Structure 1
Amino acid sequence: MNVHDLNGEHAEDVNYRLVRIFGICLGILVLTYSVLALRLFIDRGEYHPVDLLLISTRVLLGAATLLALLHPRIERLCVRQIGQMSTLFEEGYSRTSDGEKIRFIVLVTMAGLLLELVMIRWLASVFPVFSFFKNFTLLACFLGLGAGYAVADKQRCAPALVLPMLALFVAIITLLRYDVGADTGFFSALPMLEQTSISIWMDRLDWLTLLVQSAPLYLLLATSFILCACICYPVGQLGGKLLHSAPALKAYSLNLLGSILGVAALFVMSLFWLPPVIWFTAIAGILLFFVLSQDARQPVGIASFCLLIVVLSWPVQPEIQRLYSPYQLLERMTKPDGLMNILSGGSYYQKVFNLPESNRGHESEEDRYVRAYYEFPFNFKKKPERVAIVGAGSGNDVAAALRMGASHVDAIEIDPAIVYLGKNNHPEHPYDDPRVTVIVNDARNFFRTTHQQYDLIIYGVLDSHTALSHASNLRVDSYVYTREGITEAFKLLKPDGVISISFALPNESLGYKLSHILQGIPGAGKPLSVRVRYDSSTTTAFVTQKGRDVVMPANSEFAAFGFENVSEHFAQPYPEASIPTDDWPFFYMISRTYPVSYMIALGMVMLLSYMFVRRTIGLNGPIERSYLPFFFLGSGFMLVETKAITELGLHLGGTWFVIAATIILVLVMAFLANLLVQRKPLQRTGYAYFGLLASLVVGYFYARNHDLVVFSSPLASLIASCVLLTIPMFFSGIVFSSLISRAGINISTALSYNLMGALFGGLMEYNSMYFGFAFLYLLAAGFYFLAWVFSWNPAGVPALRLSAIIGPRLVPKGRGSTR
């Protein structure tokens, strides 16, 4: 299919095709919802009048969806309305002054990036599977924005489609999660064998069973991928159209400025734990009251906005308090005993107990067991002077330390919302005790920066339910459980100090990893492994002591509670390659193996991307050589950005603040590079490419050995690390800006190639799950080298055919020479 010109005979049909694709995918989800609701109704076996009314409504919703998709009259109506929508917008756009268009570049880019980040956060908070596949949503947004940029000046634009599509998508996902998803396990599993989680056990299945049980999840992932791309497509199309209202370098500066503002906006909203209704209101407000303020179809946008607000504000589970922390959705419930229970992503996360000293000796059997578990580490260090608790959570471990006579407790918790819940809902009020210092920080960063020495360091039952934004295959505690991370904690112990690590093992391999890390720490005695069975039959405590072996306490009560010494079991040989390190921090992977499960999902991404591009852009004809550097620059950029986030997360802590600051720093580097090129254009990019590749080589060796750059001042070391990790972005920014300033280069097409390259780089990022994160530098260097090769003067080199290189045809032949 060829891309029609703006004045082509059927140009408006492209927007209808987009809506048609969106309608089909949305219809699949609606029908899935109706079928699940009907099945649950039949399985329940109780047919009350209210239930009959509700199920009738749900079934009618599915029938209405089928009718809308199949009825020719509805199709003709949609074609006419969408055609009028795009025509009216183009007429209004032609009357917009250049000054307004330039201002709109910042606003639309800001809205686009904010939409991307909000979709990633919101979907991950609704369905756990998106927490483990966050790149799925990111890549979908890249696809939609990139495709939109590609056709910005070739097809009529209909940005008024964004809000209706967004409102319908949010509505059906909400229904699936809170109406039928709460009563079925169809969408709560994890379609992978290589990784584990406390609440998800699919790593124990064989491949055939895994694929069968994962079918609903793959359906959800696939349809959501296309729906997100459809929503972002008009935003990219409008953004690309606006870029042509200013010189290329100035337009790109405004584009980067809008991106920085988009990240900053989500940063502010995360700072105040604002809920999704505020996130989406910010996006809709920008589109409605600025971009579409003169659009004749604004009433459609207002109605869609109202639907969006109603859906997001509806009290789907009024008995649950929801807090949107910077990391995850926390849901506070009440246990039968009146105490707090916390869910994360719909799964059990934490609960509090009331175990004051006054209750000792006359409490229930369950409470006696829980007390024995929390006080178990203090059998190895009586009345410690100073205790550090990693993953302090809502305060159970802190309360136990205070009961056992600790003189001072440092409570380290990364999530401020969990600390807030603990302060307000724990019956023993441990965080109000003057002996306790609450530290909201990443545990690894705390251990690197503290100057304290400890008698006892306790790791609570940590298990991350969410992955880091823009680093989807890492969890917030990934660097806590590496060999280097635990060794750093061990060095903070006083003589005879003790470390106790408790973990609910979803797979025995995680226990082998912890045991072998403790065995290999210089100066540590033989560790003890005890099956304590708290919350899970596999929960195990791993204890090591500085300078002496650890032995099981002679306490008959422990045997009565089922505490079992399993030290010999976990002391068995285990592959050294599967032990997590700072370069390969994948503690939750069962073994170091290529992530086939991820490759299945990412293969689905490539197939869906091909189909989406074919329907919206077209793939006939040659790929123009002069735009290929932008594709490879995008691939390299995505990999280096990922490495910068993970590396700075290692140095500064994997907190949301560090992630946001790193993304902004990366964008600032590109902005500064663009300003430099604006003031002093480069005729040749060879020097910039050399600097880029040299900085990647330095970054690679630095990632392999962090002792290469060490200063006496921590601040100097921090600055040096930030420069080393982001300077490649500065050089790549110089190259990118120099290329788009060349005569004949279409900036929206260049950005389209760049985003498609970023999509491909996002797919390649998963190689780190086998080769480690330092490998991303080598992979990025290869992409940047290809960009250098294709940046050479293409005289005499024919255009490449689609069969030679996989990628979308974004420009007509002969356009955009770099000579």
Structure 2
Amino acid sequence: MNAAPDPGASQAAASSPWRVAAVSFCVLALELGLIRLVPAEVKAISYFTNLILIASFFGLGVGCILQNGPRVSWLLPAGLAAVAAFVLLARGIVVYEAAGAVHYWLQDRSASGDAVRLPLIASALLAFATCALPFVAMGQELARRMDCQARLAAYSWDIAGSIGGTLAAALCAYLGTPPWAWPLAVAAIWAAAIARTWPLRLATLAAGAAFLAFASAAHPSAWSPYYLVQHEREPEGLRVWVNSSFHQFALDTEQTDIPLVRQTMQKFSIPYDRYREFHNGRSPRSVLILGAGTGNDANVALANGAERIVAVEIDPAIYELGRRLNPTRPYDDLRVEVQLDDARHYLHTSRERFDLIVFATLDSQTLLSGAANLRLENYVYTVEAFRDARRLLADDGMVGLYYSVMKPWLYGRIFSTVHEAFGPRVEFMRTHAPFLFNSIIVAGPNVAGFGGDPQLIADLGGYRVNTDDWPYLYLQEPTIAPVYWQLFAAVGVLIVAAFALLRWTTPAAGWHANFLFLGAGFTLLESAAIVRLALLFGSTWVVNAVVFTAAMGTIFLANVAVMKRVAPSLPQAWIGLSVALAVNYAFPLQTLFAYPSAVRTAAAALLAGAPIFFAAVCFSRLFEKQPAAGYPLGVNLIGAMGGAMLEYSSMVLGMRDVWLVLLAVYAAALLCSGPALAAERVTGAAVAPGWRKLSRSATR
């Protein structure tokens, strides 16, 4: 049975192509805004941020499939209102043991009030359903407007709008614009440029205005590029929450009459005390602090007589909070140099040597992006990171590491990783005062007589270590947590439902399985690029924004190349894609650190960009032959959901073997593109002479 077509589909024929870009801009802006807003406010979603990405893909895909179905424009204001209501009502939902394999903290209170108990999977599905709704309307509008233009020209406008939305989101992150303002801005743009009737315009504006409810907070707050940061002054100092979870406490170190302050400062000083014991009472003169936060560690270094302190902090808002509101204002001291950088990136690039390197409490409480299951600190607690730190130590230097450990196996994981990098001269201490941290590791690889307790090494030294290939500190073993399998099952059901919807609305449209696998491959490819470049250049929001923008730009160039008939043919593109994926799998990324920054950047751009370019050429060559835009585009977006789920395979396989998964996904896409390849061999494809010559040479 076919759904009755909506006459509005033909009315879009007069649509200007720039409106395609406007729709795409709104899609990206709303998607990135919700990826930041929902996990920050709803604690149950805070460690599953790609859930919102998957929801947006599903909504867009269904909307595109409904290209010729009944108009669903009303779902945009209804969906925006539903998202606002869900987030407001779910602010206190907490994560319990169901998420223990992802993050071991049990969150029992939020910064905004008492917590509400709700099963994790239930809250995740609620978030998914509400966040998908507005994108259904957007997907249908996008497909209809694209269908009124030449196929590849419309796709170019679509990508241009996506680039604009990504750049706007990056600018908002830089300016500290709260993400609750993004849906409001999207509603305004949609009402002005896209909506066709006054009732729809007014309803969209009203739904966008509902997000103004997030302008007020229980505590003073600011949005950093990573977090919602809130704080509150207390007698002992400054309490800081990020994404509604306790994160830091800037101690008033002058309040030594308060037991909590006195005990905590004593814990902080243990690495300095151990240093003095093995250096004839001399304190470390130069100190590197990784994860300097609001300034506690800088305070401790100053109190212990350090003459030079380099404080590395990734989050500018956290640093600014410490600079302004830390009771003793350590960042105003001329001995303290602040570097706003990723800790691992600083270890890679610094050439300075230090008497003491402190790994502060870097637990990030967030993921790098909505497209990669990589926490901000993942690459800090690996064997390779500790070896980088060892390289920066003075000849008789030492390393101190603070951590809060709640699981017995995690003691062994961290100790084994440090022991692997530094050798037997490692000490592990537990403290009875758990505030801020309860475990301390001190390593002195070249300090005679230090550490080396055989019993300690026997007890804690046999655990699996964290590496750059498998950096999942909170996974006890390579596995995919049960909660993710539940999400996989839900996503699988939704993919089947989407195909059923396609067959119901347009039985003659075909399955478009090649577009399904191309969508899965691209999402996984983008995620792999983010992870790879995070290791090279740091897990920062700037790197994230550059990767997204560069990926979209590469797709745009590939599409233009196909339009201008200067791109490789479809068979050539498949060969190029396969070679590029194989090179990424085989290439030893660590070798790039031996080269200057310009060489490293160029090599990384080529490694990450080549497979994206060839995959985009494959998509454009297949897409230009489609009689309608909506169906293949919708199936492609549904496939992107599967790609987002496949990213979790790295938890079992490791980061490198994800490239083998990509090869398998694109091989499936190639098999499903057999008829298109056969047709191109018969009819020929317009390609540039250089590609034609290369193809003839390859077949000799």
Q: In the TM superposition, what is the alpha-carbon distance from 1:301 to its structure 2 partner?
A: 2.4
Distance 1:441 1:247, change over 3 A: same
In structure 1, the residue matched to 2:65 is 150
Candidates 158, 183, 203, aligned match of 1:255: 158
Q: In the TM superposition, what is the alpha-carbon distance from 1:377 to its structure 2 partner?
A: 1.3
Distance 1:338 1:494, change over 3 A: closer
Q: State the alpha-carbon separation in 1 of the partners of residues 316 and 436 from structure 2.
A: 30
Please show how residues 604-643 of structure 1 align to structure 2 within 5 Å.
604-611=490-497, 614=500, 618=504, 624=510, 627-643=512-528
Q: State the alpha-carbon separation in 1 of the partners of residues 433 and 533 from structure 2.
A: 34
Residues 379, 471 of structure 2: 8 Å contact kept: yes
In structure 2, the residue matched to 1:559 is none
Identity of aligned residues (%): 27
In structure 2, the residue matched to 1:586 is 472
Letter in 2 for 1:195: V
Residues 132, 472 of structure 1: 8 Å contact kept: no
Please show how residues 160-171 of structure 1 align to structure 2 within 5 Å.
160-171=74-85
Please show how residues 25-44 of structure 1 align to structure 2 within 5 Å.
none
Residues 195, 590 of structure 1: 8 Å contact kept: no
Per-residue deviation, residues 496-530 of structure 1 (Å, max 9, x unmatched): 100001100121222212212222226x4520001
Candidates 574, 583, 602, aligned match of 1:698: 583
In structure 1, the residue matched to 2:214 is 312
Candidates 496, 502, 506, aligned match of 2:402: 502
Q: State the alpha-carbon separation in 2 of the partners of residues 711 and 403 from structure 1.
A: 37
Deviates more, 1:385-394 or 1:717-726: 717-726
Indicate the SS of the match to 1:587: coil
Q: In the TM superposition, what is the alpha-carbon distance from 1:714 to its structure 2 partner?
A: 2.3
Letter in 1 for 2:553: V
Q: In the TM superposition, what is the alpha-carbon distance from 1:95 to its structure 2 partner?
A: 5.5
Q: State the alpha-carbon separation in 2 of the partners of residues 647 and 492 from structure 1.
A: 23
Deviates more, 1:102-111 or 1:526-535: 526-535
Q: State the alpha-carbon separation in 2 of the partners of residues 190 and 613 from structure 1.
A: 35
Deviates more, 1:419-428 or 1:468-477: 468-477
Candidates 103, 123, 138, aligned match of 1:196: 103
Indicate the SS of the match to 1:352: strand
Residues 638, 758 of structure 1: 8 Å contact kept: yes
Deviates more, 1:542-551 or 1:610-619: 610-619
Candidates 20, 25, 45, aligned match of 1:110: 25
Q: State the alpha-carbon separation in 2 of the partners of residues 239 and 566 from structure 1.
A: 65
Q: TM-score, normalised by structure 1?
A: 0.77
Candidates 661, 670, 673, aligned match of 2:558: 673
Candidates 218, 222, 242, aligned match of 1:323: 222
Candidates 172, 181, 203, aligned match of 2:86: 172
In structure 2, the residue matched to 1:230 is 133
Distance 1:245 1:378, change over 3 A: same
Q: State the alpha-carbon separation in 1 of the partners of residues 103 and 298 from structure 2.
A: 27
Q: In the TM superposition, what is the alpha-carbon distance from 1:536 to its structure 2 partner?
A: 4.8
Q: In the TM superposition, what is the alpha-carbon distance from 1:621 to its structure 2 partner?
A: 5.8
Q: In the TM superposition, what is the alpha-carbon distance from 1:366 to its structure 2 partner?
A: 2.8
Letter in 2 for 1:602: F
Distance 1:199 1:414, change over 3 A: farther
Indicate the SS of the match to 2:134: helix
Indicate the SS of the match to 2:102: coil
Please show how residues 27-426 of structure 1 align to structure 2 within 5 Å.
90=8, 98=14, 100-152=15-67, 154-177=68-91, 181=92, 187-189=94-96, 191-200=98-107, 216-292=119-195, 295-309=198-212, 311-313=213-215, 315-317=216-218, 320-335=219-234, 337=235, 339-356=237-254, 363-381=257-275, 382-426=282-326
Please show how residues 523-562 of structure 1 align to structure 2 within 5 Å.
524-536=423-435, 539-548=438-447, 551=450
Residues 111, 287 of structure 1: 8 Å contact kept: yes
Q: In the TM superposition, what is the alpha-carbon distance from 1:708 to its structure 2 partner?
A: 4.9
Q: Extract unaligned runs of 5+ from structure 2.
A: 109-115, 276-281, 680-700
Q: In the TM superposition, what is the alpha-carbon distance from 1:632 to its structure 2 partner?
A: 1.1
In structure 1, the residue matched to 2:689 is none
Select the structure of larger CA radius of gyration. 1
User: Which runs of 4 or more aligned residues in structure 1 lie more than 6 Å from their structure 2 counterparts after TM superposition?
Assistant: 794-797
Q: State the alpha-carbon separation in 2 of the partners of residues 593 and 574 from structure 1.
A: 21
Q: State the alpha-carbon separation in 1 of the partners of residues 657 and 117 from structure 2.
A: 30
Per-residue deviation, residues 725-777 of structure 1 (Å, max 9, x unmatched): 221000011111111122x4422222112111111111111111010111211
| CA-atom RMSD in angstroms | 2.7
Q: State the alpha-carbon separation in 2 of the partners of residues 431 and 542 from structure 1.
A: 26
Q: TM-score, normalised by structure 2?
A: 0.89
In structure 1, the residue matched to 2:386 is 486
Residues 191, 214 of structure 1: 8 Å contact kept: no
Q: Extract unaligned runs of 5+ from structure 1.
A: 8-86, 202-212, 553-564, 798-819
In structure 2, the residue matched to 1:6 is 5
Q: State the alpha-carbon separation in 2 of the partners of residues 568 and 537 from structure 1.
A: 28
Candidates 706, 718, 722, aligned match of 2:601: 718
Q: In the TM superposition, what is the alpha-carbon distance from 1:606 to its structure 2 partner?
A: 2.4
Per-residue deviation, residues 53-98 of structure 1 (Å, max 9, x unmatched): xxxxxxxxxxxxxxxxxxxxxxxxxxxxxxxxxx7xx2xx756673
Residues 389, 397 of structure 1: 8 Å contact kept: yes
Residues 410, 474 of structure 2: 8 Å contact kept: yes
Residues 236, 258 of structure 2: 8 Å contact kept: no
Distance 1:566 1:746, change over 3 A: farther
Residues 124, 131 of structure 1: 8 Å contact kept: yes
Candidates 645, 658, 671, aligned match of 1:776: 658
Distance 1:352 1:453, change over 3 A: same
Candidates 675, 679, 688, aligned match of 2:573: 688
Q: State the alpha-carbon separation in 1 of the partners of residues 207 and 624 from structure 2.
A: 40
In structure 2, the residue matched to 1:802 is none
In structure 1, the residue matched to 2:540 is 655
Residues 507, 590 of structure 1: 8 Å contact kept: no
Q: In the TM superposition, what is the alpha-carbon distance from 1:608 to its structure 2 partner?
A: 4.4
Per-residue deviation, residues 686-731 of structure 1 (Å, max 9, x unmatched): 11111100000000012xx224556642211221112102210000
Indicate the SS of the match to 1:253: helix
Deviates more, 1:281-290 or 1:236-245: 281-290
In structure 2, the residue matched to 1:36 is none
Residues 470, 642 of structure 1: 8 Å contact kept: no
Q: State the alpha-carbon separation in 2 of the partners of residues 220 and 101 from structure 1.
A: 40
Aligned residues: 667
Q: State the alpha-carbon separation in 2 of the partners of residues 97 and 687 from structure 1.
A: 35
Q: In the TM superposition, what is the alpha-carbon distance from 1:574 to its structure 2 partner?
A: 5.4
Q: In the TM superposition, what is the alpha-carbon distance from 1:373 to its structure 2 partner?
A: 1.1
Q: In the TM superposition, what is the alpha-carbon distance from 1:133 to its structure 2 partner?
A: 1.2
Q: State the alpha-carbon separation in 2 of the partners of residues 162 and 698 from structure 1.
A: 43
Q: State the alpha-carbon separation in 2 of the partners of residues 796 and 715 from structure 1.
A: 42
Per-residue deviation, residues 106-143 of structure 1 (Å, max 9, x unmatched): 00001111111111111110122322111211111101
Q: In the TM superposition, what is the alpha-carbon distance from 1:426 to its structure 2 partner?
A: 0.8
Q: State the alpha-carbon separation in 2 of the partners of residues 656 and 190 from structure 1.
A: 30
In structure 1, the residue matched to 2:484 is 598
Q: In the TM superposition, what is the alpha-carbon distance from 1:229 to its structure 2 partner?
A: 1.6
Q: In the TM superposition, what is the alpha-carbon distance from 1:572 to its structure 2 partner?
A: 2.2
Q: In the TM superposition, what is the alpha-carbon distance from 1:681 to its structure 2 partner?
A: 6.2
Q: State the alpha-carbon separation in 1 of the partners of residues 222 and 436 from structure 2.
A: 30
Letter in 2 for 1:4: A
In structure 2, the residue matched to 1:427 is 327
Residues 471, 646 of structure 1: 8 Å contact kept: no
